[in-house]
């Protein structure tokens, strides 16, 4: 999923989609999963040169990915759609007036309990040995940009620096997630639970541990048979309940949590042992996967009412 936080931020995406031929390219790729440039040009009845400019616009926006594969007489470029959906926050400008925005590094968790397969890495190297849970306490974890485990949890403290005398009306959390299979497996469901201050907000089932193509930001040294990218998910909890990508996952009302400017905010991502699908969890930071971001948190607030 591509999350566009404002209309201005989405301008290049809108331009890329404002073309009948580029829409046709996306439709063809969705029907055929992936195609090489020659096949696409032939299908569209245009030259390779004309196709290249359209492909570049779609690739620059992250709508499609282009990879090179060895062929009989050299390399051929193959294209495929990289997104499952685009979410546009049209009204973001109004809410930003009373919005606290912060990012959490993947390795900045405050508590954990994990089971192998597991591990962590910075943008340049693995941290310790894979499948050795002791390294989740290693000092280098603060620089981690990816972590994974089969079951258990990691918990983060969200900085809470909203103005004094304010209450929290909504918390939005955006991050790239996937399952954790031995190696990779695109069909590997995993029930990922989200907790705030020990209260279950809801669950989302990740469909797999993706490794069919290299992640856009995944470093070159990363093994090709390991998880390459995840799915960008938006978790929101407000007065109407808890939502993933706009779909309601529970009736947990943020007012039931009684959060204000003095509250400690403990955010937990977990794969619970009693879940139907215990397929692990991978969290991607800005140096891995398809999205150049860490765990982004937005807190909407307003003045506390008299007597609160």
Q: Does 234 map to a domain? A: yes
> Helix or strand or coil: residue 220?
coil
Q: What is the pLDDT of residue 96?
A: 61
Q: What residues contact residue 222 under an 8 Å CB cut-off, 6+ apart?
A: 121, 228, 288
Point out the domain boundary residue: 63, 81, 99. 81
What is d(CA 60, CA 130) in angstroms, rounded to the nearest whole number? 34
138 and 55 within one domain: no
97 and 41 within one domain: no
What is d(CA 47, CA 292) in angstroms, rounded to the nearest whole number? 33
276 and 138 within one domain: yes
30 and 139 within one domain: no
98 and 19 within one domain: no
Closest CA to 239 of 258, 261, 255: 255
What's the domain count of the chain? Answer: 2
* Domain housing 14: 2-81
In this predicted model, what pLDDT tens digit does every residue of 212-241 receive, in sequence order? 899 999 999 999 999 999 999 999 999 999
CA distances (Å), origin 159, targets 104, 142, 294, 299: 9, 16, 15, 10
Decide if 232 contacts 288 (C-beta within 8 A).
Answer: no
pTM comes to 0.74
CATH number of domain containing 109: 2.60.120.260
CATH number of domain containing 42: 1.10.10.10
Point out the domain boundary residue: 29, 53, 81. 81
Ranges of the chain with pLDDT below 70: 1, 71-74, 90-96, 306-308
Q: Cα torsion for 250, 252, 254, 255, to the nearest 10°?
A: 140
């Amino acid at each position: 999923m591509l999350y566009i936080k404002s209309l201005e931020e989405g301008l290049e995406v809108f331009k890329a989609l404002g073309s009948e031929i580029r829409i046709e390219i996306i439709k063809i790729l969705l029907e055929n999963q992936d195609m090489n440039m020659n096949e696409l040009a032939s299908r569209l009845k245009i030259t390779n040169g004309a196709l290249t400019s359209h492909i570049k616009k779609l690739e620059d926006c992250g709508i499609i990915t282009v990879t090179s594969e060895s062929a009989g007489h050299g390399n051929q470029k193959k294209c495929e759609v990289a997104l499952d959906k685009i979410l546009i926050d049209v009204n973001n400008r109004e809410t930003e007036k009373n919005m606290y925005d912060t990012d959490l590094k993947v390795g900045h968790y405050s508590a954990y309990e994990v089971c192998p397969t597991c591990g962590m890495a910075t943008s340049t190297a693995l941290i310790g040995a894979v499948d050795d849970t002791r390294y989740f306490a290693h000092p280098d974890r603060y620089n981690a940009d990816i972590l994974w485990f089969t079951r258990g949890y990691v918990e983060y403290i969200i900085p809470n620096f909203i103005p004094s005398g304010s209450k929290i009306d909504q918390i939005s959390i955006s991050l790239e997630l996937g399952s954790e299979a031995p190696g990779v497996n695109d069909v590997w469901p995993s029930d990922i639970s989200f907790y705030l201050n020990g209260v279950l907000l809801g669950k989302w089932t990740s469909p797999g541990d993706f490794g069919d193509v290299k992640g856009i930001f995944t470093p070159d040294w990363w093994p090709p048979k390991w998880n390459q990218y995840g799915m960008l998910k938006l978790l929101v909890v407000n007065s109407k309940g808890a939502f993933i990508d706009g779909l309601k996952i529970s009736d947990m009302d943020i007012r039931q949590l009684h959060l204000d400017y003095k509250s400690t905010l403990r955010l937990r991502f977990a794969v619970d042992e009693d879940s139907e699908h215990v397929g692990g969890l991978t969290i991607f930071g800005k140096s891995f996967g398809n999205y150049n971001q860490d765990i982004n948190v937005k807190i909407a607030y307003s003045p506390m009412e008299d007597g609160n």
